[in-house]
Each structure stands twice: as C-alpha cells, then as structure tokens.
C-alpha cells in the first residue's frame, strides 16, 4: 500500500450527506496498489501484505485503485454513501480506466452545464473564462480564440524553460508514450504521473459537485473532456514544480515521489476548495442541492412539475 497519510485511523458513521465533511474540506487523495478493501462494521479496512489500515473514507475525496486491488461490494457501497469517489487507474496512476459516483444526487448543475455547452455563445464565454483564469494579468477582450491558444502555448513553453533552467533538468519536448513508458525521460515520466493524479482529483471534484466529466468546453470528443479542461487550469502551478524537482533528485521510485509531493502540494494550495469554487464560478452552480432523498421533477414544456405525486 503506497502513499498512505501518516495520520490516523478514523472510524466513521454516516447520518446523511449534509452531515459529512464537505467535498472541498476533505483530504486530497489516496493511491493504493495490491490491496484488498473490505467493509468491517462501520469502517473500510485496507489489507496489504505490509499490514492493515482503516481508511478515513468520510474525509477522503478520491481513492485511486491501482493494479492488484480488489474491493468488496459492501465497501464500494460504504464509500459511495460518504461521497468518496473511486477511480480505477493503471500502474503508478498513469491511466484512468473507470470511476464511481460522486457525492451529489442532484442533476441541476449537470443540466446547467449542458445548456452552457450546447449554446455556442455561452460555450465560447466559458472557454474564454477558462483561459483567463490561467493568466493572472488577464487577457484582452479583443483576442480571438486562436490568438488565446497561441498565448497559452507560449506561456506553457516559457514555464517549462524556466523550470528547466532552475532545476538543471534538460527539456526538449513534452512526450507521453503510454505504449513505451520505460523509454520516456524521467521528466516526462514525472509530468505524466503528476498529470494523472491531477486528473483524478479534477474528476472527483467534477463528480462531487454534480457536473459531467464528458461535457468539455475547451476539449471535446472524449468521455473525460471536462476533466482535461479543469486540470489544465492548474497544471503549470501544481504539477510542474513537483515534477521538475523530483526529476532533478537522484533516486528510485520517481512516480511515487511525485505522487507524495503532489499530495502535500495540493493540500497546501487547498486545491480541492479552489476546484469547487472555480467550477461554480465558471458554470454558476452555487445554489444548494435538492433534497437527495426526494423524487425528481417531471419535465414539461411549460416548466417542470413536481414528481412523486399522483397527477390523475
């Protein structure tokens, strides 16, 4: 079992979703390999050849399950009830294969996202806002989308060059070779491992706040397009400092050191809280969720009508 926080064994008890720690106040993530997860009473236990630990699932935002992991049906149900998102990933967290449900049970924010996505004018507005968040000095209003993409490319290239000089790590080009991972440079491995962790965190934030990971605004055509949109807001600030630092540090377990460093870095930046706030800012989803246990409304062209009642 890897990257287990040095804290603590927490036994949890679920009352209802509103009494649990809010998503953005939770811990960041936990990555596990070769571990068996089982429910035990009111806790979830993680069994590994090196020992057993009770997972703090009530305050855990996302659990990344790597190779060799197995999880019981009851453990999955228990983690879903607390709002802990499950992500099934490849070795070292470099791929994301599947995910579980997030914390929210309301579709209001997803519907708003779909309306913004489907309208070309509102979609362009969100795209411009997303790019603007990456530039502390802001962007001129008269730039075309092509010009904005050019500025973003220059910003990323200059940042790589700056970190390369500061850490003495050679950088030529960004390469992600999923079929030839062992031949990748240490820096490219570090960046890829860091990006995978950031994708997992962004995916969890999207699900937990009630949005769809597929309806991207900048990216399109993939089931994780919106995950890439959100992660790109923070990559330069969050991933690159840790990736360059660890690539410049001699030693083994590069990907593990990147994940551990990112966990601490994300916590210090309060990244989960920022993700939730930025998502609501971009898509306008600050209103409280509907009652999780109440039935949904019925669609009507003149306005939704109340569900769960007899209209005869």
> What letter does residue 288 receive in the DSSP assignment?
P
Average pLDDT value over all residues in the chain: 82
pLDDT of residue 233: 96
**Mean pLDDT computed over 222-226:** 94
pLDDT at residue 15 is higher than 80: no
The tokens describing 31, both together, are 């990555």
How does DSSP assign 97-108, residue by residue? EEE---S----H
pLDDT of residue 4: 42
Report residue 91: phi and psi, to 5°.
-60, 130
Q: Is 152 annotated as a binding residue?
A: yes
The C-alpha atoms of residue 240 and residue 242 are separated, in whole angstroms, by 5
pLDDT tens-digit map of 54-70: 888 877 877 888 889 99
pLDDT of residue 19: 45
Q: Is 280 annotated as a binding residue?
A: no
pLDDT of residue 177: 62
pLDDT of residue 38: 95
pLDDT at residue 96 is higher than 50: yes
* pTM value surpassing 0.85: no
The C-alpha atoms of residue 26 and residue 272 are separated, in whole angstroms, by 8
pLDDT of residue 251: 87
**Mean pLDDT computed over 239-259:** 92
pLDDT of residue 69: 95
Instruction: Scan for tokens 């995978």, then name that residue.
Output: 196
Q: Is 273 annotated as a binding residue?
A: no
pLDDT at residue 181 is higher than 80: no
Q: Which residue has the higher pLDDT, 82 or 181?
A: 82
**Mean pLDDT computed over 288-309:** 67
How does DSSP assign 203-248, residue by residue? HHHHHHTT--SS--SSS-SSTTHHHHHHHHTTHHHHHHHHHHHHHT
pLDDT tens-digit map of 5-14: 433 333 333 3
Strand, coil or helix: what is 207?
helix
pLDDT at residue 122 is higher than 60: yes
Domains of the chain, start order = 1-105 (3.100.10.20), 108-283 (1.20.120.920)
**Mean pLDDT computed over 230-259:** 93
Q: Are 212 and 113 in contact (CB under 8 A)?
A: yes
**Mean pLDDT computed over 16-31:** 54
């Amino acid at each position: 079992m890897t990257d287990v926080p040095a804290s603590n064994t927490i036994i949890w008890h679920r009352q209802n979703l509103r009494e649990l720690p809010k998503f953005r106040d939770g811990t960041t993530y936990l990555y596990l390999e070769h571990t068996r997860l089982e429910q035990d009473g009111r806790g979830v236990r993680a069994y590994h050849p090196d020992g057993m630990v009770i997972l703090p699932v009530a305050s855990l935002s996302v659990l990344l399950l790597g190779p060799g992991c197995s999880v019981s049906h009851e453990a999955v149900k228990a983690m879903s009830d607390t709002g802990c998102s499950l992500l099934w990933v490849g070795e070292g967290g470099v791929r994301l294969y599947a995910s579980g449900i997030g914390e929210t049970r309301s579709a209001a924010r997803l519907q708003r996202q779909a309306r913004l996505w489907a309208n070309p004018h509102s979609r362009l507005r969100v795209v411009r806002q997303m790019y603007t968040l990456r530039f502390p000095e802001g962007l001129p209003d008269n730039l075309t989308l092509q010009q904005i993409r050019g500025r973003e490319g220059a910003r990323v290239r200059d940042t790589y060059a700056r970190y390369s000089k500061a850490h003495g790590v050679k950088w030529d080009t960004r390469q992600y070779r999923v079929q030839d991972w062992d031949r990748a440079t240490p820096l490219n491995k570090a960046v890829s491992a860091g990006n995978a962790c950031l994708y997992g965190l962004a995916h969890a934030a999207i699900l937990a706040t009630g949005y769809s990971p597929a309806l991207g605004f900048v990216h399109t055509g993939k089931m994780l397009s919106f995950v890439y949109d959100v992660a790109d807001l923070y990559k330069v600030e969050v991933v690159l400092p840790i990736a360059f630092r660890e690539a410049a540090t001699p030693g083994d377990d590069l990907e593990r050191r990147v994940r551990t460093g990112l966990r601490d870095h994300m916590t210090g930046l309060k990244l989960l809280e920022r993700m939730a706030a930025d998502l609501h800012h971009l898509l306008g989803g600050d209103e409280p969720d509907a009652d999780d246990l109440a039935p949904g409304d019925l669609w009507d062209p003149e306005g939704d009508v109340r569900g769960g009642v007899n209209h005869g």
